[in-house]
Structure 1
């Protein structure tokens, strides 16, 4: 039930999605033996159980523009935050003010990332969050400090910074000085005894492709 991941993998680029309201039977968990799905020798066993038909037309997607100057720096700490733990620290409810704060920025961010030349102040503020980062900082040593001291005003080339998904990877968007930005974030993690690796990434605009020999 993650159309954001599926659409980005299939279509590539900078993609927004949403799910329609689904029927209870469409969201019910369905399981069949792997031996029914996998080919021999791992599978190929006829259990008589057939894979369920997937629901059709369950959502929509839209590809947004991505300014060509923007690259993504992924800082990957050498530890794991289990998804269950990352979800458990989130509150059961949010204040109206915090929800409005995030919705305003989510509405602006696609336009900001598609504008060339990029506006650092707009992108930085549009990447602010009150829904998950304040709660997940307890799971990621150094996150609070990184989000506080890494700004366009203190780091030339930086556009915005956030926790990537549930973490612990940090995502920084930038137009230049990529190594310098990565080194500063890695140094903060190192002060907490955490080693990291980093990668410089760009959107894969082609999405899934089929190659024929």
Structure 2
């Protein structure tokens, strides 16, 4: 492939994610089939042109503070190459500020764009991408599924982020209920206790292990597997409507959890029919004010390609 030209363009697509999945706090993440899609073009140094449509378009900055632009510069600096100017055309399908990994997906989009723009001049391994994304985002549980797709388990080993990817049982049918208000991750974290009891720690360890089995082999175990004692009850005070919906759904046998830091609610239904029942219950409970997103598990993760080509330069 030829050396990057100043006007080279890449097309990037990154899935939404839902982290924690109940008991797997800061560890488990799932890629979902809502997407941010971007075309990013290299310009002469110092130039910046950002256009955003879709979710969050009115709030996302279009100057040097833009997260995608900052991430592209960070990736270039990491390999010792001067960053170009950028034209960013973003079409956001991931609800912003609602617990579906929008900031992590923006970081992943910037890293994949840099990888594509630098093709032939610098290389980024999967480990490089996860490390850089974690440095920028702070936690690997959201960026890992955005990068690699599927169900991911993320951890750190000697301060190095690592992950493994698992395939989700085809009987698992996700549905996300999205309110019209947002919640910042920092606010959601501020209400958490700094210490937990041994009993609660063991409880969550057992449920997290069970959740892996439920998602990969035995969806009928999802109700028990999504129980949590570490974060959801403590966050209820910051998002009472979310807590009320989770409780209403679980009372009727649906495996409902807070999606990421909230305020969206994720239901891991054990079949398409069950998620339709969950949607009907949620509509009655909320008066139809929450949007129901019937999603699939995204198994591919983030991709980058040349806009005129069908083949990806990078598929994780």
TM-score after normalising by structure 2: 0.49
1:65 to 167, 171, 180: 167
Which structure is higher in strand share? Answer: 2
For structure 1, the residue ranges without an aligned partner over 5 or more in a row are 23-57
- 2:157 matched to which residue of 1? 20
- 2:257 matched to which residue of 1? 162
- Whether the 8 Å contact between 1:75 and 1:186 is mirrored in structure 2 is no
Deviation at 1:141, TM superposition (A): 2.5
Counterpart of 1:124 in 2: which secondary structure?
Answer: helix
Measured in 2, the distance between the counterparts of 1:124 and 1:87 equals 25
- 1:187 matched to which residue of 2? 284
Structure 1 segment 31-70 matched on structure 2, within 5 A: 58-70=160-172
Structure 1 segment 43-192 matched on structure 2, within 5 A: 58-115=160-217, 118-119=219-220, 122-151=221-250, 154=252, 158=254, 160-174=255-269, 175-177=271-273, 178-190=275-287
For structure 2, the residue ranges without an aligned partner over 5 or more in a row are 1-137, 309-316
Measured in 1, the distance between the counterparts of 2:183 and 2:305 equals 35
Measured in 1, the distance between the counterparts of 2:202 and 2:297 equals 28
Deviation at 1:189, TM superposition (A): 2.9
Number of corresponding residues: 168
Deviation at 1:129, TM superposition (A): 0.6
- 2:83 matched to which residue of 1? none
Counterpart of 1:210 in 2: which secondary structure?
Answer: strand
Larger radius of gyration: 1
Measured in 1, the distance between the counterparts of 2:197 and 2:299 equals 37
Q: Give CA-to-partner distance per residue, 1:4-38, whole Å, 9 cap, x none.
A: 2222111111111111232xxxxxxxxxxxxxxxx
Say whether residues 1:5 and 2:5 are aligned partners: no
Say whether residues 1:209 and 2:303 are aligned partners: yes
Give every structure 1 segment of 4 or more consecutive aligned residues whose post-TM-superposition deviation is greater than 6 Å.
none
Measured in 2, the distance between the counterparts of 1:61 and 1:84 equals 24
Measured in 2, the distance between the counterparts of 1:171 and 1:6 equals 18
Deviation at 1:142, TM superposition (A): 3.4
- Whether the 8 Å contact between 1:142 and 1:188 is mirrored in structure 2 is no
Question: CA RMSD for the aligned pairs?
Answer: 2.0
